[in-house]
Structure 1
Amino acid sequence: MTEATERQLPIPRYAWVVFALTFGLLISDYMARQVLNAVFPLLKSEWALSDSQLGLLSGVVAIMVGLLTFPLSLIADRWGRVKSLTAMAILWSLATLLCAVAQNYEQMLAGRILVGVGEAAYGSVGIAVVVSAFPTRLRATLSAAFMAGGLLGQVLGVAIGGSVAASHGWRMAFMVIALSGLALAVLYPILIGERRLAAVAEKAGQQPYERKKAFPKLGSLFAGRTLKCVYVGSGLQLFVAGALPAWLPTYFSRYYHLPVDGAAKLAALFLAICGVGMIVTGMISDRMFSSPEQRMKLAVGYSLSCAILLGAALMLPAGPPQLMLLGLAIFLAAATAGPAGATVAGLTPAAIHGTAFATLTLANNFLGLAPGPILTGWLADQIGLLGALRWLPVASIAAALVFLAARQSSRAEVAFAE
């Protein structure tokens, strides 16, 4: 199918149903993950927990996601994506309900482990379902919007959890989020089915996903230089996107002398800017850049622009000019998510898209989102927080160089993408 023909394909109405329900479950996923952070003070007081114990309750979810994303995505590609997403949502919702009735730390930890198991592959398999229902011209927008949905879920999890906990106690906070997730999980397979997805994929001009063909061609996950570079470049750029949201509240507290709540609110605003940036830059990628080479060129531009803006911002003293440049920098901090997701979808077979996105998720987490906050904190102990943040543009420059290498892909790789 030619590019001109593909751009004339209409978006099936059912595709928006798929997007809405899958996106809704994604928000539920992150709300279940983040509600705990809103009730830390209450748990600490009631059970006399240490900060290390609280940290483990939060971090164990990310650990399980990191360990299980790839194998569970592979199983989902084979077993059936709709059934798998439903099972995942039911598991994390029931696990959140278990947290609501936990009588001690050990029971709460067990519940949080199960939350991590349930959420491990949702992001990768969910985006595979979404991109299968739309024309390929929207892949960057959809990939970016899906990742931005995670940010929205985090904000809502903390906000709703904190509000409910303040008025009805921490157990009710877990319960409200668990029951809303269960409701969506029950509704999902009723409205979304594999056969209807195959039909809508055909209308969108895509090859229908066939789960019986999900195991072959796993070597395609790493076929050619482009894919390898996309995984690495995406992870390096998200080093910045992981470090900034984690340390901005502390930065605003120390260097702008804001109270804790004021620093948190300002940081939340920057987190929202990051989410908007992901969606807008993904739309730009879809509208103006269609081939893998063009998208990699755009990713280079996003990464370098982020490095320049962030470096300039952190050389200025605290004040409005610095905040303006920081806002522009964080707008681009995760801008490569759209081009990277679209390229991975374009260069891998539809039958293993869930596994392909899991591979991208692994790279994003292990190269960027996980080490970003940790290494920045370690460096801050050595040279101060401002000094540590001034090193972040190096990660963006490294990402730009890797994306530049990806742009040098062979014609054979590009042909496979079409």
Structure 2
Amino acid sequence: MHMQHTASATGEVVRVHGDVRAYAWVVFALTVGLLLSDYMSRQVLNAVFPMLKSAWGLSDTQLGSLSSVVALMVGVLTFPLSVLADRWGRVKSIVLMAAMWSLATLGCAVSTNYGEMLLARAFVGIGEAAYGSVGIAVVLSIFPVRLRSTLTAAFMAGGAFGSVMGMAIGGAVAAHLGWRSAFGAMAVLGIVLVIVYRILVTEGRIAPLQSAAGHDSKAASPGMRTSFRALMKGLFSTRSIRCAYVGSGFHLLVPAALWAWMPSFLNRYYGMAPGKAAMAAAAFVLVTGLGMVVCGNLTDRISRNAPGRKWLTAIVFCLACFMLLAIAFRMPAGPLQLALIAAGMFFSAGATGPSGAMVANLTPPAIHASAFATLTLANNLLGLAPAAILTGIVADRIGLLGALQLVPFAPLLAAIVFAIGRRHYAHDLDRVAALREEASRNTQATTTKADS
């Protein structure tokens, strides 16, 4: 990453910026590492679906609820907790959240019935609620603006890779040591990462990163206040940002449904043992993560000189996902069906990077954690939370295959929403520029009042 310096920059300044750049990647790696733990704790459940179904006699609806309750808690709590994190301190909030989901995952390991497991999973969701929004806000605050789609996609792809690891490692551990050990392994990993993050990352140490990246570190520092009216105006004032929220939420219903049910699909329709089905499903999740990174980077390249193209790439990714999966789930079981499912999953979360970049571009930096909380809220309430349980409810009535045949229509709806947002994007960017100036004046006034 090339850093720009003024002509008056001294050799010492260049050296410091170089050190800052290296530490920025350390922070990025640790923040993504916790995201991996987040999704490992969340998705290990899917690897042991067949075991829980057999041990406790659960229906598909009950199994789906154990997955969906996490996303539901995330959706309900992400906004208020992210607003608190903006004020209390993002780094401290990250440590507290990661500790909570790790301990709750340990609670899953000792659950003795469906009710206890549901409660433990709810606390996993409470711990994870604001992590995605706060974590990405920290990452975007320490890197240049031109890398937003790539960084957003890479960060969010950590969710896919964490899901892969949770399903693959969890399935392997469960096959040899039982499903309780699978949850226990995820909990231990999370606790170790929390300790490392707490030692290496602090608010004070990331402040120079924000300055080096050209951002106002004060805007993201704890204690800064934004009025409720200004916050709501910054988050929802334009039609294009509302479309970014909604389109992103709809398009994520596909990966959420398939990540939850692919092990069961492979177990039921391909005759794979639970452990083998979990490993195979993890490969499909890995394809989703790779697609997120590739699509995000491609978006940055295509839209480098034309920001409006972010919307076009999001539309194309959604339509590609719809067509590939709609065909795949109407084909007979076999290698060709699996190949088409993999191709569809490559694009299933491809609009994540463009959506994150849209949100960052359409909101003031001082409320980025709150903006990404709103995006996370939409992602969870419109896509991630209902996906598993709705698929389970339909599967109890028409079979799992029939339910999966309906899932691809979600990205088609998302493409329509993104198309609407694209029409208003250029005009809305001008409105956002005015809002940024107003937010800056409000922040300065609040700071002056606090100092006095």
Deviates more, 1:53-62 or 1:221-230: 53-62
Map of 1:130 onto structure 2: 139
Contact 1:292 1:407 in 2 (8 A): no
Offset of 1:380 from its aligned partner? 4.8
Map of 1:51 onto structure 2: 58
Residue ranges of structure 2 left out of the alignment (5+ in a row):
6-16, 437-452
Structure 1 distance, partners of 2:274, 2:44, is 19
Alignment of 1:308-387 (within 5 A): 308-380=323-395, 385-387=400-402
Q: Summarize the Cα distance change of 1:56–1:316 in structure 2 as closer, same or farther, 3 Å threshold.
A: closer
Contact 2:252 2:348 in 1 (8 A): yes
- Report the AA paired with residue 224 of structure 2: K
Q: CA offsets, 1:163-201, max 9 Å, x none?
A: 445555665544443333222222223322223322212
Structure 2 distance, partners of 1:100, 1:388, is 30
Offset of 1:143 from its aligned partner? 1.6
Q: Summarize the Cα distance change of 1:19–1:224 in structure 2 as closer, same or farther, 3 Å threshold.
A: same
> 2:214 aligns to what SS in structure 1?
coil
Relative to the length of structure 1, the TM-score reads 0.85
Offset of 1:106 from its aligned partner? 6.7
- Report the AA paired with residue 203 of structure 1: A
Residue ranges of structure 1 left out of the alignment (5+ in a row):
none
Offset of 1:410 from its aligned partner? 5.1
Map of 1:88 onto structure 2: 97
- Report the AA paired with residue 352 of structure 1: I
| Corresponding position: 1:244 with 2:265 | no
Alignment of 1:12-411 (within 5 A): 12-36=21-45, 49-51=56-58, 58-99=67-108, 111-164=120-173, 173-208=182-217, 209-216=220-227, 217-219=230-232, 220-253=234-267, 255-256=269-270, 258=272, 260-290=274-304, 292-380=307-395, 385-409=400-424, 411=426
Offset of 1:346 from its aligned partner? 1.4
Structure 1 distance, partners of 2:393, 2:179, is 32
Q: Summarize the Cα distance change of 1:167–1:411 in structure 2 as closer, same or farther, 3 Å threshold.
A: closer
Q: Summarize the Cα distance change of 1:413–1:102 in structure 2 as closer, same or farther, 3 Å threshold.
A: same
Using the aligned pairs only, state the percent identity. Answer: 55
Deviates more, 1:338-347 or 1:147-156: 147-156
Deviates more, 1:87-96 or 1:56-65: 56-65
Deviates more, 1:31-40 or 1:190-199: 31-40
Structure 2 distance, partners of 1:250, 1:99, is 20
- Report the AA paired with residue 298 of structure 1: T
- Report the AA paired with residue 194 of structure 1: E
Q: CA offsets, 1:214-266, max 9 Å, x none?
A: 53321211120110001111112112222333344444455555555554443
Offset of 1:372 from its aligned partner? 3.1
Deviates more, 1:394-403 or 1:12-21: 394-403
Q: CA offsets, 1:281-334, max 9 Å, x none?
A: 011112221454210111111112222223333454443333333222111011
Deviates more, 1:228-237 or 1:106-115: 106-115
- Report the AA paired with residue 156 of structure 1: M
How many matched pairs? 410
Contact 1:303 1:400 in 2 (8 A): yes
Q: Summarize the Cα distance change of 1:312–1:63 in structure 2 as closer, same or farther, 3 Å threshold.
A: closer
- Report the AA paired with residue 211 of structure 1: P
Structure 1 distance, partners of 2:335, 2:48, is 33
Deviates more, 1:151-160 or 1:350-359: 151-160
Q: CA offsets, 1:4-55, max 9 Å, x none?
A: 99xxx9992221011111111111222233445556677788xx74426776
Deviates more, 1:318-327 or 1:99-108: 99-108
Relative to the length of structure 2, the TM-score reads 0.79
Q: Summarize the Cα distance change of 1:174–1:410 in structure 2 as closer, same or farther, 3 Å threshold.
A: closer
Offset of 1:408 from its aligned partner? 1.3
Map of 2:9 onto structure 1: none
> 2:363 aligns to what SS in structure 1?
coil
Structure 2 distance, partners of 1:63, 1:247, is 18
> 1:211 aligns to what SS in structure 2?
coil
Contact 2:143 2:210 in 1 (8 A): yes
Q: Summarize the Cα distance change of 1:65–1:167 in structure 2 as closer, same or farther, 3 Å threshold.
A: same
- Report the AA paired with residue 359 of structure 2: V
RMSD, aligned α-carbons: 3.2
Q: CA offsets, 1:55-83, max 9 Å, x none?
A: 66555433322321111111101111001
Contact 1:233 1:399 in 2 (8 A): yes
Structure 1 distance, partners of 2:324, 2:64, is 32
